[in-house]
Amino acid sequence: MIRNIKIDNLRGLAIFLVVLGHFYEKTAIVPQTLPSIIFIGIVFIRMPLFVFISGYLSKIGPDNTVKAFNNILIPYFLFTIMWIFTDLILDGKLSLSSFIIPAPGLWYLMSLFLWRSFLPAIDKLKYPIFFSIIIALLASTWNGLNDYFSLSRAVLYLPIFLFGFYFKHIREILYFQKFKEKVNLENKYISLAILIILLAVSVLFFASQKAAILAFTWPFNEVGVGNLKGMILLIIAYISRMSIILILFFLMTRKRTLFTKIGKNSLSIYVFHFYFLFYLPPLLQYLGLGFIFENIYLGLTYVFLTTIMVIYILSRDIINKGVNYAINEFRNFIMKKEDLIQ
């Protein structure tokens, strides 16, 4: 199968920002010392871009739900079991609730399963993106919205997923080729300038409002805004994030870059970087290196070097092959042979 290098590059960029953002957030002294706009900028792009790519690569066909079960939900069960056993061995906790409230990062796999399972039905709607935004707005006013089975994020990120799925059609409807010619979007400098300005304005705006709404996780009352203001902020978030993704898509090169391999092996990076995130700091503390987390410069160095190290290790082909082998063996153990649809 011929891979789409541009998509691998975009996914590589997204996963780099995911890992960097998590280590930045987890290293307490860093976000306490530096302006929060740095983290807001990372949050603004990382998961929306990741979700957009998932939508872009999704297809509608027979056995959508069965394929989603085989390729997404079974890995979800495997990775959840691995997390439960890790928690049990290292922390002495048996967290069976992780099947209901996804373990760190695994909300994305559960959401992806839901999106792809319901995609054939959603596609029957006349204006699916519009209706998904309306549903997200209404759901955010419900105080009972929670992360059981990642429903809150599945609902709030659904418009971004559908934006990716219908992206090819959107380009045709908007005559995007003519638009590109008018604004000279292919000029890298102009594209980059537009991207930087739009991102800076968006980040500064949400930094002055309620940046927590960008997590697409909590109802408006938990974010600390009223329903009307929350709806307005959420709409602005959708429009600005989709606009930035649009520019990134046409700005990203089709040539191989440092992000290409990262994007190709993104699953292993996404799932297993959480083990480094949670268990590396206690190990360093145990080794007498806890002073790293008490100095801003050492903390920043830790964030960047650990991000690079973790991504390099987990993006190796041998790691990716091992993860795929484990998934296939687990799938073979659970499923009947005649139901193993890839």
- How far is the C-alpha of 187 from the C-alpha of 310, rounded, in Å? 34
Q: What is the mean pLDDT of residues 96-102?
A: 85
Of 91 and 259, the structure prediction assigns the larger pLDDT to 259
Among residues 195, 197, 208, the alpha carbon closest in space to that of 35 is found at: 208
pLDDT tens per residue across span 127-137 = 999 999 999 99
339 has pLDDT over 80 = no
- pLDDT for 192 beyond 90: no
Q: Which residue has the tokens 């995609």?
A: 119
Q: What is the pLDDT of residues 219-270, one digit of tens each?
A: 999 888 999 999 999 999 999 999 999 999 988 989 999 999 999 999 999 9
The pLDDT value given to residue 311? 97
The mean pLDDT value for 187-200 works out to 86
The pLDDT-based confidence of 64 (bands split at 50, 70, 90) is: confident
Q: What is the pTM of this model?
A: 0.92
Separation between Cα atoms, residue 314 and residue 52, nearest integer Å:
23
Q: Alpha-carbon distance 303 to 301, whole Å?
A: 5
Location of structure tokens 């040539």: 255
Question: How confident is the model over 324-330, as a mean pLDDT?
Answer: 94
Confidence label for 97 from pLDDT (cuts 50, 70 and 90):
confident
Average pLDDT of the chain is 89
Decide if pLDDT at 117 tops 60. yes
Q: Per-residue confidence at 338, pLDDT binned at 50, 70, 90? A: low
pLDDT of amino acid 267: 95
pLDDT in the model for residue 336: 74
Task: Supply the pLDDT for residue 308.
Answer: 97
Domain ranges of the chain: 5-335
Check residue 16 and give its pLDDT.
97
Distance separating alpha carbons of residues 50 and 52, to the nearest angstrom: 5
Backbone angles phi, psi at 175, to 5 degrees: 50, 55
| pLDDT score at 179 | 54
Distance, in Å, from the CA atom of 27 to the CA atom of 274, rounded to the nearest integer, reads 13
DSSP annotation string for 267-318: HHHHHHHHHHHHHHHHHHHHTT-GGGGGSHHHHHHHHHHHHHHHHHHHTSHH
**Is the pLDDT assigned to residue 298 strictly greater than 80?**
yes
Largest distance between two CA atoms of the chain: 61
Task: Report which of residues 94 and 271 the model is more confident about.
Answer: 271
Give the pLDDT confidence score for residue 340 in this predicted structure.
56
Give the pLDDT score at 59. 92
